[in-house]
Structure 1
């Protein structure tokens, strides 16, 4: 059975350096999380070491996605140059490993016009199959009207938008995440809670802004089993009672425009719960490499919890092949 992992992180030396040299108040502190163990070396590698890790985990194809915070929030001139460089480096990596890698496009969202231009520049690149995005660039949210042209272009090109977690703004962190040891503060505002709230909120804002009414072909992906949203969908749908300008109820967009990725959390109870609120056709396998390290045994055991062989194939590869237009096998992508 083919296995495709859709959210597999990497970083460029230029993007990493840019964030580490930002003024303190502008710096994204989550970059420090990349310094644990050998994460930094694994993030920088898009060659043989990554392929070896894929082989060990039983992964046939990875879709490379720039690690948070990408170029979001960097000054526009830096973001433009570094996004272009990242996409060119991803193209080169895929050219070296055409049956094993694809990539999500990195965009300079701090300049909405430049982001559209970069998406169009990469429109015909065989390596580029999706967009790695975050819910906010500086103080501008993803649903801001300034990004509507980009969202329209993504829909037109059939490029799914992965809405990835990012650390909350300093204002929110000051109000909600401070008061602890700095290590605890960072963990609480990132992987312990804040990342997931931020990504889920970004997706809800896209729905409430009418994004999917204007661009019904736009598809987004949420990691970590839907960033809490599936688990509160009954409650969230009550927004429909006040958001009366939408074409449909809020929960209905999850059946048509939202896909869910596992982000390395191969827990059968999460799968069972997700299937109460979405269909098997909407679930994508992602390893969240190198922050999670899948192994072949755990992956096989997880897929075996699905009694239907066709459902196993859908989550392992079929759904990704359809959403990212990868063909019937990685070698045909």
Structure 2
């Protein structure tokens, strides 16, 4: 069975160090694995039975830099990604990193990456300096993605300092860091980010815009009926309800989730055609993810869709 993994991170250490960016504790521990896109990564893929990784830079460190620096650093990261893909095109594809502090520059960079470098879309990491994707200032990026017919993968990012202070203070540093990110906060914030886009009419204005979220839907499948009951009555004047909009514009990946209950919930809420395989390398083990995919309670046709068919259709691979 062919397997394409969709949320697989990299980060060129030399470019990040030259930019003077601190990777912090979590990413810093994985710096060598993030930087490795050669034989060692290919061995991980081979051992797990993964045919293709769609690479994305863990670029929340640089997407919100001062605009001119952000444009320069993200441009260099994307050029490096293009070199990696060109070296091993049968094993690697790429999502662009975007300088979101300069929306016009980000739209131009997305266009360059898709039209000139052959990238399949872009990954955006949460809000940028307090600005969410429903803000009119970032509409050029969304318009470019819709025009180019490529998805934006909305990935979590560390929360702003005031959120950390309000919600995660009084905890040990390790517990607070985990609870504010991968242990809970990332998922709820990303789900809220998507719902802001729905409520603010982004998908009414751009009905063809495609958004991908990871981690089996960031909790949205579990909550979708409650969201529909409570939020749809107050989001007025739209052609579709909140749940209808989510099911039209949103795609989910399995990244980091390898158990039946969230998978079956996602399938029941969104349909198997909206779900795609991911690992979240190097933050999750590839072999664990593919082993679960092979044993999950799925019909053969549905397993093939999640493993490769749905992403091939979405990304025109």
Give the TM-score band, short-chain normalised. over 0.9
1:121 CA drift (Å): 1.6
Q: Does 1:277 align with 2:231?
A: no
The residue that corresponds to 1:201 in the other structure is: 192
Unaligned runs of 5+ residues in structure 1 are: 23-29, 327-333
SS state at 1:260 partner: strand
* TM-score, structure 1 as length reference: 0.90
The verdict on how the C-alpha distance between 1:196 and 1:32 changes in structure 2, with shifts beyond 3 A counting, is same
Cα deviation, 1:208-242, whole Å, max 9, x if unaligned, reads: 11111111111111111111111111111121101
Specify which of 191, 202, 214 is matched with residue 223 of structure 1.
214
> Are residue 259 (structure 1) and residue 259 (structure 2) matched?
no
The 1:21/1:315 distance shift into structure 2, 3 A limit, reads closer
Question: By how many angstroms is 1:125 displaced?
Answer: 3.5
Alpha-carbon spacing, 1:169–1:54, altered in 2? closer, same or farther (3 Å): same
Q: Distance in 1 between matches of 2:159 and 2:19?
A: 16
Is contact 1:268-1:302 (8 Å) kept?
no
Count of paired positions = 316
Query: Are the aligned partners of 2:10 and 2:56 in contact in 1 as well (CA < 8 Å)?
Result: yes
Q: Give TM-score, length-normalised by structure 2.
A: 0.95
Using the TM superposition, give the Cα deviation of residue 245 of structure 1 relative to its aligned residue in structure 2, in angstroms. 2.5
Tell me the distance in 1 between the aligned counterparts of 2:160 and 2:4.
Answer: 33
Q: Secondary structure at the match of 1:287?
A: coil
Cα distance in 2 for partners of 1:91, 1:104 equals: 10
Q: 2:314 aligns with which of 313, 316, 323?
A: 323
Q: Shift of the alpha carbon at 1:269?
A: 1.8
The residue aligned with 1:160 is: 151
Question: SS of the counterpart of 2:239?
Answer: coil
Maintained 8 Å contact 2:293/2:303: no
Measured after TM superposition, the shift of residue 182 of structure 1 is 1.4
Residue 124 of structure 2 corresponds to 133
Distance 1:147 1:309 in 2: 41
